[in-house]
Structure 1
Amino acid sequence: MAAEQKTAVRSLSLRAQAALACYRMGFGMAGLVGAAAVPWLSLYSRRVKEGFADYLGQVRRCAGRQVFWIHAVSMGEAMVAYGFAAELKREFADCEIVFTSTHPDVIAGMRRRGLAAQTAYFPLDTQIGMQRVFERWHPSAVFVSETDFWPEFSTQCRQRRIPLYLINGRISSKIAAFYQQCPGLSELVFSAYSLLAVQTAVDAERLVGMGVDSQRIAVLGNMKADLTIAPGSVELSAFRAWLAGRRTVVMGSLHPGEFSLLLPVIKSQAAAGRAIIVAPRNPAFAVEWQQTLSSHGVESCLRSQGFAGSPVLLLDTMG
């Protein structure tokens, strides 16, 4: 496997070296300012409470000889990462998988699946923090799901000659515009990748426009289309009974502002006898939204509490 081979170190241009120096200086100064807010944030932020040591690179050491590091941020990216981790375990039974994310629910999802020997919050992209993580984990290969790019993270992979792969990559127009305006930073980040496997030809074109060598880009489609649920692994009878053959409206990945805008639509569709499924971007919003719906005279139920005879189903769990 390519992960077993060390990649050749690509020398950086003076422009990229300057970008790295400026990035390290800027990130370091921002870290000093942010450190003052840690005591306050620890009182209110679940991420800081649970992941403060991880942010500093204080992760447990890995004992395995073949360690694969997988990183994903959103739940959509994580679903790809979960499936990818399962395939790695099948292919390399003795491998040790470490998994990072910036989202507590994504980390919890990996822990429930039991695919990773260790889960942690993604460390701050500082030189000291990243060096500490790489020295403790010694990954044989690193995989990033879809889109989360960090200069120091890439630099450590390059300097240590660790294969770095993008899986199910997605390059938005905003990302492309940013890196086209910052060619030194683009080289710093993307020249460290051994392979960038992207979803569409448009993603590939954007990478080429950002200065990435086309020989390191592969268009492989969307891995989410390959994710399947094993027959019989999910009990659907209660859900089918709740649907009761009604026309169904699904509102997925809603932010609070979007929910407020769609509230009249939800109310009218419920009155018309349709089944409505609402999936908050953050499941923690579900309870608050249920109260809001109730105040507007709309009955609803939470997925975690079973399927009641309500027109609206709020998804307060993942997976």
Structure 2
Amino acid sequence: MTIEVTDSACGQIGHLDSEPLLYRYSSTGNHETGRERRVSLTGSTVAFRANFASNQSAPSPAKSDLSDSCANQYAGLNRRTYRTVAERCVIEFSSTESPAVKGILFNLVYILGILCALPWLLYRRFRYGKYREGWSQKLGGELPIRTSDANPLIWIHAVSVGEVIQLKQIVDGMRSLDPSLEFLITTTTETGFQVAKEKLAGCQVSYFPLDFTWTVRKALQRVRPSMIVLVELELWPNFLAEASRSKIPVAVINGRMSDQSFNGYRKIRSLIKPSLQDLSLVAVQSEETRNRFVELGSRSDLVHVTGSIKFDGVEIDPSNPNALQLRDFFQLKESEFVWVAGSTQSPEEEMVLDIYLRVLNHLPKSRLIIVPRHPERGTEIAEMIERRGFNVIRRSSPSQQLFDESRKAVGLLDTVGELKACWALADVAFVGGSFGNRGGQNMIEPAAHGIPVSFGPNTRNFRQVVELLLKAEAVKRVADATELEEFIVQSCKNPDEALAMGERAKDLISKQQGATKTTCQLLLNLLGRNTAAAPEQSNAA
């Protein structure tokens, strides 16, 4: 697409090409020194100023290619100055919408949002012990200071536990290609912070600064990263604008955009478009997500389909030490049929426990392990279990394991980072977050173990993955508690059918792997640490 730049007195004086990002200026006729022309460019006004030596006529019509790999395309253009020796002129781009004004407006919106949410934040702080750590980093930008420029420093941000767990394969993959790389990992949640500390050896770990102008500016000045990588989708406008002003490339990896998110972003497209145009690379899970990024404003040549790195991060060894330790801890016997309900949220625990009471009538040798999405709810869930007459084997309280041997025990895995290993214990799985408004949780991990997997009707956050699995008849979507109960019972009574479903899932997942390698290569290309050509786009869904 070409945008014509015109002047009311002189007619056409040049044009801008949007793909690739290449600016061309054509001088025509004689121009006064310092004459300024203002043109409308998709909603933003930019200034074109042609400066020539005093009393010198403009040169004959000519074209100069003025490339800029970092500037935004249409709106919110950062100030740039280009010199063309042949024409001896300066073309100056400057947005009439001041970035400082935008930053202040966003600051006010954030402050208002925090004030509105303050009662809820205080409740969770005192009820669950949340939001007590990292405030010097979140509000003050006191992130680790980079003391040496000897090696590239990659700043990777992952919101919470699920995204943090995916990072190990990315960090390991990039280190295998370039051992000199250093990493700073930031996260938003305390559980994510703890998992990053535990799982990502050799990486600095910190909390992500809140998106206030003063906070992100100080954080970036202290860290001075060679590149910033955002996992899935984190569009914080002040942070991205400051990174752009500092000429730091920013990439999104494993990008996904649900129907709900896409519809919401479309309503504020003019606000998020500058942030999307600040991105130097977008690696997404599917072609549909690629189209959505492009429609919202991302440059199409910078958006690559890599598939989901979640397919690469699965652990499928049932004999791994963590799984064996959990088997011993929950006192599971080889003859018992084990049902793991993972990533559950209220009211799914109540539903699962009521189903288990009925299932015991058909399967007296069955066992249930509940793994809540939020471990801080452990005490609340333990009380639910006890009210139904079960003993509780609680992972967070290993010293409190004395109970009535005549009662059935339910396992409660209320710790962080152990769900992956727990799936290896299951004969059948239920993935939570799918009967409420959460939009589902990761069903790839249990499916990779070759076991029958079920989930509820609300899985919008994993729509492409769910469609793949359902098409292959590799999982079961249940509409309500009755269907879930039937699925659990049938999985035990018809082991051949359950095994066949699990094998279909396992085979499908193995065919979807490879996103991590592609993503790492794209990141190194962006960093300029690898001369290989950019990988071909994946056909993954």
TM-score when normalising by structure 2:
0.52
Is the contact between residue 138 and residue 209 of structure 2 (CA under 8 Å) also seen in structure 1?
Answer: yes
Residue by residue, what CA displacement relative to the aligned partner does 1:276-296 show, whole Å, maximum 9, x if unpaired? 221111112123211221111
Following TM superposition, where does structure 1 have runs of at least 4 consecutive aligned residues deviating by more than 4 angstroms? 14-20, 32-38, 40-43, 228-233, 308-311
Which structure would you say has the larger RCO, counting Cα contacts within 8 Å and 6 or more residues apart? 1
Q: Say if 2:377 is the partner of 1:279.
A: no
Q: Secondary structure at the match of 1:73?
A: coil
Go from structure 1 to structure 2 and tell me whether the alpha carbon gap of 1:49 and 1:261 turns closer, same or farther (over 3 Å shift): same
- Larger deviation, residues 293-302 vs 15-24: 15-24
**Partner in structure 2 of residue 293 of structure 1:** 385
**Partner in structure 2 of residue 129 of structure 1:** 215
1:159 corresponds, among 242, 245, 250, to 245
Q: Say if 2:280 is the partner of 1:218.
A: no
Go from structure 1 to structure 2 and tell me whether the alpha carbon gap of 1:78 and 1:235 turns closer, same or farther (over 3 Å shift): closer
Among all aligned residue pairs of Structure 1 and Structure 2, give the percentage whose two residues are the same amino acid. Answer: 23
Q: CA deviation at 1:110?
A: 1.1
Q: How does 1:22-41 map to 2 (within 5 A)?
A: 22=102, 24-28=104-108, 30-31=110-111, 34=114, 41=122
Write the distance in 1 (CA, Å) between the matches of 2:296 and 2:71: 20
Task: Give the aligned CA root-mean-square deviation in angstroms.
Answer: 3.3
Q: Secondary structure at the match of 1:50?
A: coil
**Partner in structure 2 of residue 3 of structure 1:** none
Q: CA deviation at 1:34?
A: 4.3
Residue by residue, what CA displacement relative to the aligned partner does 1:30-69 show, whole Å, maximum 9, x if unpaired? 427848969x949637554211101121222122422111
**Partner in structure 2 of residue 204 of structure 1:** 290
Q: CA deviation at 1:189?
A: 1.7
Is the contact between residue 72 and residue 274 of structure 2 (CA under 8 Å) also seen in structure 1?
Answer: no
Go from structure 1 to structure 2 and tell me whether the alpha carbon gap of 1:282 and 1:270 turns closer, same or farther (over 3 Å shift): farther
Write the distance in 2 (CA, Å) between the matches of 1:28 and 1:116: 38
Structure exhibiting the larger radius of gyration computed from Cα positions? 2
1:84 corresponds, among 162, 170, 193, to 170
1:63 corresponds, among 139, 143, 147, to 147
Q: How does 1:1-319 map to 2 (within 5 A)?
A: 8-10=70-72, 13=75, 21-22=101-102, 24-28=104-108, 30-31=110-111, 34=114, 41=122, 44=126, 46=129, 48-56=131-139, 57-65=141-149, 66-229=152-315, 234-238=321-325, 239=327, 242=332, 244-270=334-360, 272-273=363-364, 274-304=366-396, 305=398, 311-319=409-417
Is the contact between residue 197 and residue 219 of structure 1 (CA under 8 Å) also seen in structure 2?
Answer: yes
Q: CA deviation at 1:196?
A: 1.1
Q: CA deviation at 1:19?
A: 10
5+ residue gaps, structure 1, are 1-5
Write the distance in 2 (CA, Å) between the matches of 1:19 and 1:269: 64
5+ residue gaps, structure 2, are 1-67, 78-94, 418-541
Q: Secondary structure at the match of 1:242?
A: coil
Go from structure 1 to structure 2 and tell me whether the alpha carbon gap of 1:185 and 1:32 turns closer, same or farther (over 3 Å shift): closer
Amino acid at match of 2:191: D
Write the distance in 1 (CA, Å) between the matches of 2:320 and 2:351: 36
Write the distance in 1 (CA, Å) between the matches of 2:410 and 2:97: 54
Q: Which has the higher helix share?
A: 1
Is the contact between residue 270 and residue 311 of structure 1 (CA under 8 Å) also seen in structure 2?
Answer: no
Write the distance in 2 (CA, Å) between the matches of 1:112 and 1:19: 43
TM-score when normalising by structure 1:
0.85
Go from structure 1 to structure 2 and tell me whether the alpha carbon gap of 1:155 and 1:17 turns closer, same or farther (over 3 Å shift): farther
Write the distance in 1 (CA, Å) between the matches of 2:321 and 2:226: 35
Is the contact between residue 62 and residue 136 of structure 1 (CA under 8 Å) also seen in structure 2?
Answer: yes
- Larger deviation, residues 102-111 vs 84-93: 84-93
Residue by residue, what CA displacement relative to the aligned partner does 1:128-155 show, whole Å, maximum 9, x if unpaired? 1000000000011111111222111211
Is the contact between residue 270 and residue 276 of structure 1 (CA under 8 Å) also seen in structure 2?
Answer: no
Write the distance in 2 (CA, Å) between the matches of 1:69 and 1:230: 30
Is the contact between residue 350 and residue 384 of structure 2 (CA under 8 Å) also seen in structure 1?
Answer: no
Write the distance in 2 (CA, Å) between the matches of 1:278 and 1:190: 39
Q: CA deviation at 1:115?
A: 2.8
